[in-house]
Chains A and B, each alone.
Chain A
Amino acid sequence: MDRIIKVIFSTGILTLFYFIWTGTTDLYNILIIAFIALVISIIYNRSLFKPMLSPKKWIYSIWYVIFLFIEIIKANFDVARRVVSPKIPINPGIVTVKTKLKSAMGRMILANSITLTPGTLTVDIDEDILYIHWIDVTNIDEKTATEKIVANFEKYLEVIFG
């Protein structure tokens, strides 16, 4: 049953992407693509991840994307400020933070989000410890760094990935 839901979900996603990409309105065309998407989903059904079915997770995902976009804009103004100022105001270093997330997917999203947010870049990840290059280190203590860098994301990601 689980596998069937996965296959149907991924067939829908693939068909949707084809529809958006080509902008076709021909029903026959879409049916052929839906069939091919179904075949692909059945072949690769082991590596598909489980769709989120609860509406709470969907709402949190949408909020997360909006939050992330705001963070990206903030990050850009931060970089712009540092780059333009004559004496580049940086205080860089690599610090560790600890994440509460358990799933591999959640950790991947967290690491990538950290890279996109102001002044931080994920260099390496080892189980639940992330090594982060921080452009303006205020405190090398692990707890404080965790509070400052990942706490905001974990609020959302804990709900989304459980």
Chain B
Amino acid sequence: MEWYRILGSIITLIGSIFLFLGALGVFRMPDLYNRMQAGTKATTLGTILTLLGIGICHYEWIGQILVIIMFIALTNPISSHALARAAHFKGIPLTKGSVADKLKEKESTEVEVD
């Protein structure tokens, strides 16, 4: 077996471990926002590494892989931001132990002004 196949497989394995940890985070975290955090970060690096490993195994695909990685790095945080924002405006509360919610203070003052 060629060396680059082994290297690519190892990188793909590391990526899938991160994806697994992301899934575990979504399962274990107490509220939506914390789940969002675990989901976004782990899936970004997990997907990047998984794709990169495939790109190293099949080096003729590396160009396409790099373009896909770029789009994932650009779109992943935007989607999670949109979900978190929508959830907060819908009124989904933070978990019990939360320290502060400055956005809620802002929203409630806006209502008073109106």
- How many angstroms from the CA of A120 to the CA of B84 in the assembled complex? 12
If A79-B38, A116-B44 touch, whether A84 touches B21 (CB-CB below 8 Å) is: yes
A140 touches B25 (CB 8 A): no
The residue in chain A whose Cβ has the minimal distance to the Cβ of B32 is A133
| A123–B85 touching, CB < 8 Å | yes
Taken together as a complex, chains A and B put the C-alpha atoms of A93 and B45 apart, in Å, by 24
Contacts of A79 in B (CB 8 A): 21-22, 25, 37-38, 41-42
| Contact in complex: B100, A121 (CB < 8 Å) | no
Contacts of B74 in A (CB 8 A): 112
- Give Cα A111–Cα B78 distance, bound, in whole angstroms: 9
Assess whether B9 is interfacial by the CB under 8 Å rule.
no
Most buried by A among B22, B41, B44, B48: B41
Distance between Cα atoms of A72 and B95 in the complex (Å): 25
Do residues B37 and A137 form an inter-chain contact, with CB atoms below 8 A?
A: no
Q: How many residues of A contact B (CB 8 A)?
A: 40
Query: Is A52 an interface residue, CB under 8 A from the partner?
Result: no
Q: Could you tell me if B63 and A112 are in contact, using CB atoms closer than 8 angstroms?
A: no
- Please report which residues of chain B, range 1-39, place their CB below 8 angstroms from some CB of chain A when the two chains form the complex: 18, 21-22, 24-25, 28-31, 33-34, 36-38
Report if A93-B80 is in contact (Cβ < 8 Å); known contacts: A84-B21, A116-B44. no
Q: How far is the CB of B76 from chain A (nearest CB, A)?
A: 8
Q: Are B63 and A23 in contact (CB under 8 A)?
A: yes
Which of A17, A72, A78, A116 sits near B67, CB closer than 8 Å?
A17
CA A124 – CA B83 in complex, angstroms? 11
Interchain CB contact under 8 A, B41 and A92: no
Task: Tell whether A112 pairs with B81 under 8 Å between CB atoms, given A20-B64, A84-B21, A88-B30.
Answer: yes
**Residues of chain A at the chain B interface (Cβ within 8 Å):** 17, 20-21, 23, 72-73, 75-76, 78-80, 82-84, 88, 90-96, 111-113, 115-116, 118-124, 126, 131, 133, 135, 137, 140
